[in-house]
Homo-oligomer: A and B are copies of this chain.
Amino acid sequence: MSSTGRLETFADGVFAIAITLLVLGIGLPARNAALWSALLAQWPALVAYVVSFLTIGIMWASHHQMFTVIGRSNMTFAFINVVFLMVVAFVPYPTEVLAQRIASGVDATGATFLYGAVMVGIAIMFNVIWGYASGGGGRLLRPGLDPLAVAAGAHGYRYGPPGYVLITLLAFVSPVLSLAGFAAFAVYWVLPKGGASD
């Protein structure tokens, strides 16, 4: 058993790097192209940057919030978090693929499914992390927490996987609608919820 300090530092690092690497996925305009039309043609990469940045940023904040009630760690818990971070750190890849395919129009729906599958994977891992930490009678939770407050705070994680599945299915209508849904879902997590203080 050890404290969660270094695990949080490591997770913060991976979140911060993955979110900042997103900018590398926006290709430069051609050297001699007219600037504004070249930038306009890149709107899928710019919109995807905003959506993925907000999404990873809110996921960081949620991870941060979850660890306000988790007080201990062990090797298994570290491993679960490494798997979680493996999916988070992968986000720049489907982001770039989605931007490429919305721009080219080839298999854009499929690229949205790839993006959505990664989001569903992260949402599932949130539940796995929480399930392990709060399972076994609150195995890794800080002592002295109010069980009702803990349960209320945790309630939200369940909405993640079905929420991301539904938003992904919007790609059958339009990949851009799906992208807007991912952005809206990120903002949703920030809104104050009944029964839970922020």
Specify which of B19, B28, B79, B198 is in contact with A85 (CB 8 Å cutoff): B19
CB contact under 8 A between A35 and B86, given known A61-B79, A65-B75, A198-B76: no
Q: Does A2 contact B (CB under 8 A)?
A: yes
Give the interface SS of chain A, mostly helix, strand, loop or mixed. helix
Give residues of chain A (168-195) contacting chain B, Cβ–Cβ below 8 Å: 187, 189-190, 192
B78 near A61 with CB under 8 A, answer: yes
Specify which of B64, B82, B114, B187 is in contact with A61 (CB 8 Å cutoff): B82
In the assembled complex, 18 residue pairs joining A and B whose CB atoms fall closer than 8 Å, in A order, are A2-B68, A6-B8, A10-B12, A13-B13, A13-B16, A13-B20, A23-B90, A28-B97, A29-B100, A32-B104, A32-B106, A33-B106, A35-B106, A53-B82, A54-B83, A61-B75, A75-B190, A76-B192
A interface residues with partner B (beta carbon < 8 Å): 1-2, 6-10, 12-24, 26, 28-29, 31-36, 39, 49-50, 53-54, 57-58, 60-61, 64-65, 67-68, 74-76, 78-79, 82-83, 85-86, 89-90, 92-93, 96-97, 100-101, 104, 106-107, 110-111, 114, 187, 189-190, 192, 197-198
Interface contacts beyond A53-B82, A57-B82: sample of 19 additional A-B pairs, CB < 8 Å, sorted by A: A2-B68, A6-B67, A19-B85, A19-B89, A20-B21, A20-B89, A21-B23, A21-B24, A23-B93, A29-B97, A33-B106, A35-B107, A35-B114, A49-B90, A54-B82, A57-B86, A58-B79, A61-B82, A79-B187
